[in-house]
Amino acid sequence: MKPVRALSAIIILGLAACSQDSQRPGSDPVNVVADGPRMLAEQLQVEAVGSARATTSAQLYPETAGRVVAVRFSAGDYVRKGQPLVILDSRQERLAVELAEVRVEEASQLLGRYRRIEDTGAISESQIEAGETALASARVELQQARESLADRTIRAPFSGHIGLTEVDVGDRIGQDTVIAQLDQRGTLFVDFPAPEAAFSRLSPGTTVTVSPFSEPERTIDARVIAVDSTIASDQRTYIVRTAVDNADDRLRPGMSFRVRYSGAGTMRPAVPEEAIVWGGEGSYLWTVRDGAAARMPVTITSRRDGLALVDAPLGANDLVIVEGVQKVREGQEVALVEPRVQPAQEVRVRSDETG
């Protein structure tokens, strides 16, 4: 009985060796279907929330304290540059102007008398110089008095729409009192954060689509006019500024907007998704090199219409196994069955493509 057992062990070992030989690379070729990669541009999609601000905006404060005697605007009015908005009591300032005018007149008359007798020798050169200095000083005092009088009227620094005010006639206001906010909103700036990856795409001149949250069905083409000079290191974003036409005055500063941009990104090799294999070390695919299977690690950057765009050293003439990936091993000889190899195609996506 012992010889029989030994013979059985030999037979089992022989069968195991045959089984291992059948799985070694270099045995019978495995039938696979291979295809060439296509070169596609990644779709760069940016969605963000932006805030609007007026092209020019200012909070108005008085130059000096005083009692309000007139308010010459209503909330929402369109005011012109230089238009009076609030007038303060100016009786003392008007008197100061009149006094300064009198002093200028006196200094001018005195200097005139000096000049008439200058040639007689009855007056010295130093007296004439003192008269000239007195006249110049009086003129400066007059200019200061006029400036003080002008400060009693708060005027619009530029043309625009003025907002609400809490200032009424009879109020006593100071230099820290807000009169109102003035906005030039014929064009609005919409600022939004964009990812660092879009820095080369979202540059001045690029067009994005914005939609106000108050009218989500409305879409507006906005042109990028400026980008921030730095990237925020904590969020890896930067600020993009766009200009939105607001000639119909339907939008307001401070509104929120949904911002969308779609454009072409980096060109990547694209392979059918079924060609991607997942293992303990991540994703990879099988290529055909000299009639044998070769493993190539890849990183999937995006997916589109059944294709996986990958970051890998794939060339236009490489062959990627798309059917039979589960049957091959490293160095396994392969036989191409009904090869679908096509010339590598390059798809270009316009920078203004949306969706």
Considering all CA atoms of the chain, what is the largest pairwise distance in Å, rounded to the nearest integer? Answer: 161
Is residue 25 a contact partner of residue 292, using CB atoms and an 8 Å limit? yes
Question: What DSSP string describes 109-125?
Answer: HHHHHHHHTGGGTSS-H
Q: Span 27-42+267-347: which CATH code?
A: 2.40.420.20
Tokens 């010295």 correspond to 124
Q: What is the pLDDT of residues 157-196, one digit of tens each?
A: 999 999 999 999 999 999 999 999 999 999 999 999 999 8
Q: Which residue has the tokens 């990669």?
A: 37
Ranges for all domains in the chain classified under CATH 2.40.420.20: 27-42+267-347
Measured CA to CA, the distance from residue 272 to residue 325 in angstroms comes to 12
Q: What is the DSSP string of 171-213?
A: -EE-TT---EEEEEEEEEEEEEEEEGGGTTTS-TT-EEEEEET
For 232-275, give the DSSP string. Answer: BTTTTEEEEEEEEE-TT----TT-EEEEEEEEEEEEEEEEEGGG
Residue that wins the pLDDT comparison between 87 and 270: 87
Superfamily for domain range 90-151: Helix hairpin bin (1.10.287.470)
Return the higher-pLDDT residue of 23 and 309.
309
Torsion of CA 256, 260, 261, 265, to 10 degrees: 120
The arithmetic mean of pLDDT across residues 315-321, rounded, is 84
CB–CB of 30/327 below 8 Å? yes
Tokens of 121: 């020798």
Architecture of domain 62-89+158-178: Beta Barrel (2.40)
> How high is the pLDDT of residue 262?
84
> Mapped to the 3 state alphabet, what secondary structure does 316-328 carry?
CCCCEEEECHHHC
Separation CA 152–CA 166 (nearest Å): 18
25 pLDDT more than 60: no
Residue 340 reports pLDDT greater than 90: no
Residue 349: predicted pLDDT: 35
Residues forming CATH 2.40.50.100 domain(s) in the chain = 62-89+158-178
Q: Is the pLDDT of residue 153 over 90?
A: yes
Average confidence score pLDDT of the chain: 85
Topology adopted by domain 46-56+184-265:
Elongation Factor Tu (Ef-tu); domain 3 (2.40.30)
Delimit the CATH 1.10.287.470 region(s) of the chain. 90-151
pLDDT at 158: 96
Range with the poorest average pLDDT among 112-126, 160-174, 220-234: 112-126
Q: Where in the chain is the domain with CATH 2.40.30.170?
A: 46-56+184-265
Residues above pLDDT 90, as percent of the chain: 52
342, pLDDT greater than 70? no
Buried b (16+ CB within 10 A) or exposed e, 33-50: bbbbbbbbbbebebebeb
Closest to 221 (Cα-Cα) out of 209, 203, 206, 204: 209
First to last CA, the chain: 79
pLDDT on residue 170: 95
